Chains A and B, each alone.
Chain A
């Protein structure tokens, strides 16, 4: 570990602090591990302080019936499985050069993400996708931005062998390593009653991640009847979220969808202005002819520009071009930057993007429309999004809000008031090539 602190570590800190000029949420300035992540011992202490459940009971804030529905048949959550999963999650020995663990990119001190647009893995390689938080995933499926993993269990064993993440040559090599580390065989036997194997490795990691539940926000108290749990501005923001701004159509927040995702795929135009979709389609179909195993698709998605096609890479259906699984909106305060490519620095940017009706492209989801939100309404909506933050993350939340607010008063790269108010429409410029001569 110390070996890397001086090399990749220093570089990554530099990269991480450079993105959009915002401070990485709450990273102690003095403590940095390999690839710029918070050192594991610091992360583990943080996690202890967050008091997540040990797996012996339903996590706080989750309806027991709901919890039961989301429990896989072959991997019911229990304390032994969660303990094993936790150990695996923080263990960099599962990577080829022992420098990368799950917690490198899903950093407890950075909202279980890595607070940078795209993640850095083994040998300092940087992928193309933003690391989503591993919070509240009990209610999120399929996994990954493009849903290429059906379950958390299946997902958890992909990064181990992805050449730009943890870089192990094969799942067999992972299992061999686990068998060689004296701690693991007894833990596996206690959890699953057998020797270490790759499927149980995935199960244990999933069981641990299911316990990372952060649903104790001001919004939940307000919903439960505490009238002053939300400010006036936050309440107006919620009305917009459910009404004029149409957020709830894809990010529902209710008893059956508590984390704010419909778990479906939508093209909101995030990557549309940067990419020639048709060219990528031809490229990806060719590439999939050569190999379309789980690992091949994983590689295409993370390490090539073809990943910008989103769900299409998985289904090859044209209507999935540029579509990504709706992410949760819980705790977004502490998970910047946003979107699958980490292209938006603040929640003001996110709302600006929706306000102008996304970015026009043939596959734009029908639910994306110009919203005509005023500046006050935008501020209210953003205030509401901050109110979705679990109280245990209140510190990082206020740091992030200050930084994002300050930035939003200086730069708003995604704002387009004319498009938002429909003073100019996308279709006219598309047809007339910018010249308004056809009217």
Chain B
């Protein structure tokens, strides 16, 4: 299900991990990427121009496959029905991570089964909960490598694993599974998220394949910036990641994990935080980035409120407009233009909704 649908996209899953690292550290990055993937020239004629298209986002399903509480399962089924009903169909559907609540193999497999019903091709992003029990082994068994890239209609898509724990590569102690306790309530006791050295190297490889004018969309579970450490809305090596993205003129990060709409711009990078299907989360204590559109408190009597699906429209100039298709409210569209004009233009209208 994961991985490229076109022959020219790189299939990182097929690259042996150790030899991959060897080439990276030997500094022959370009050779490696070129060796497995013919350089993908931007599809459109003038640099940076693309054929406009749309992809959908489903995220944070948190399946537990427990008949005593089937809300999460029902919500994911609804999300699948919703994207299948989109007309015209999205070019593909990104699943933004946290398919399974605590990373159990049966829950992941069940989720894979549900996602099979999606009509459009599905692209998987790994989430922190997916890796809770085994560091992602079961997930990889189902969906392949966590990090991969492809070019679609002139846009470079790069999927990163933004939920490695700081130090997990070297120390088993900081690796998931986490110490006992509520999974999400307080992530401070565990190490922070990072893309990590390996992840950053792969990101660089995946970007080396295209010119600096090529619009880039980075898909990650974690936000890739620093907002609230307690819930791990936090990427420890955010600055280093941004530095890799900085040379590109047109970069959009689409992430999940926050279970609420978030919008941000750092340097030349646009960030869109997408909503969850399973449940909404409150605003972090620090508040949200100033360009964000926090929604009112979700209705406690309606578990679907504050949840939903999303979709992202890539315009001909490569900017990305993200829409939060809330299930119990008006949709909110945050345009790339709004982010790039620092909120002075394209301000989404204030949500109209009944009180409860």
Contacts and interface: CB of A to CB of B under 8 A. Distances in A.
Given A278-B85, A362-B81, A366-B302, A431 B113 contact: yes
A395 interface: no
B328 interface: yes
Given A319-B328, A427-B74, A438 B305 contact: no
A256 to B, nearest CB: 12
Interface in A327-350: none
B305 A366 contact: yes
A360 B74 contact: yes
Contact of A438 (B81, B113, B356): B113
Which 9 A-B residue pairs are closest in the complex by CB-CB distance?
Answer: A366-B303, A366-B304, A362-B81, A427-B73, A362-B78, A425-B67, A366-B302, A249-B301, A422-B67
Contacts of B304: 319, 365-366
Contacts of A281: 85
Contact of A426 (B70, B81, B301, B327): B70
Interface of B: 67-68, 70-71, 73-74, 77-78, 81-82, 85, 106, 109-110, 113-114, 117, 301-305, 326-330, 354, 356
Given A281-B85, A366-B71, A431 B77 contact: yes
Interface string A419-439: 000111111101110000011
Contacts of B305: 366
Contacts of B68: 422
A264 B353 CA distance: 11
A308 interface: no
A425 B354 CA distance: 31
Contacts of A262: 356
A439 B67 CA distance: 12
Contacts of B327: 319
Contacts of B328: 319, 366
Interface of A is mostly: loop
Contacts of B303: 366-367
Contact of B110 (A278, A365, A431): A431
B110 A363 contact: no
A278 B81 CA distance: 9
Contact of A430 (B77, B82, B330): B77
A430 B81 CA distance: 12
Contacts of A278: 85
Counting chain B CB atoms within 10 Å of each CB, the highest count among A250, A428, A431, A432 belongs to A431
A318 interface: yes
A264 B354 contact: yes
Contacts of B330: 317
B77 A362 contact: yes
B105 to A, nearest CB: 12
Nearest to B80: A362
A422 B70 CA distance: 9
A281 B82 CA distance: 12
B302 to A, nearest CB: 4
A115 interface: no
Contacts of B77: 362, 427, 430-431
A303 to B, nearest CB: 25
Contacts of B85: 278, 281, 318
Contacts of A284: none
Contacts of B117: 431
A220 B327 CA distance: 37
Contacts of A88: none
A109 interface: no
Interface of A: 249-250, 262, 264, 278, 281, 317-319, 360, 362-367, 422-428, 430-432, 438-439
B74 A426 contact: yes
Contacts of B326: 319
Nearest to A265: B354
A426 B303 CA distance: 17
A8 B301 CA distance: 46
A317 B82 CA distance: 12
Given A262-B356, A264-B356, A439-B106, A367 B302 contact: yes
Contacts of A363: 78
Contacts of A422: 67-68, 70
Given A281-B85, A427-B74, A438-B113, 20 more contacts: A250-B301, A264-B354, A264-B356, A318-B82, A319-B304, A319-B328, A362-B77, A362-B78, A362-B82, A365-B304, A366-B301, A366-B303, A366-B304, A366-B305, A367-B301, A425-B67, A427-B70, A427-B77, A428-B67, A431-B113
Nearest to B86: A318
Contacts of A438: 109-110, 113
Contacts of B356: 262, 264
7 contacts: A319-B328, A362-B77, A364-B74, A366-B71, A367-B302, A423-B67, A438-B113
Contacts of B74: 360, 364, 426-427
A427 B81 CA distance: 13
Contacts of B82: 318, 362
Nearest to B117: A431
A152 to B, nearest CB: 19
A427 to B, nearest CB: 4
A360 B78 CA distance: 10
Contacts of A427: 70, 73-74, 77
A365 B327 CA distance: 10
A423 B77 CA distance: 20
Contacts of B71: 366
Nearest to A318: B82
Contacts of B106: 439
Contacts of A424: 67
Contact of B302 (A365, A426, A430, A439): A365
Nearest to A281: B85
Contacts of B109: 438
Contacts of A430: 77
A317 B70 CA distance: 25
Contacts of A426: 70, 74
Nearest to B84: A278
B233 to A, nearest CB: 25
B181 to A, nearest CB: 27
A366 B109 CA distance: 25
A431 B81 CA distance: 12
B70 A425 contact: yes
A143 to B, nearest CB: 16
A281 B106 CA distance: 35
A90 B113 CA distance: 59
Contacts of A360: 74
Contacts of A366: 71, 301-305, 328
Nearest to A357: B70
A112 B70 CA distance: 40
A309 to B, nearest CB: 13
A350 to B, nearest CB: 19
Nearest to B308: A319
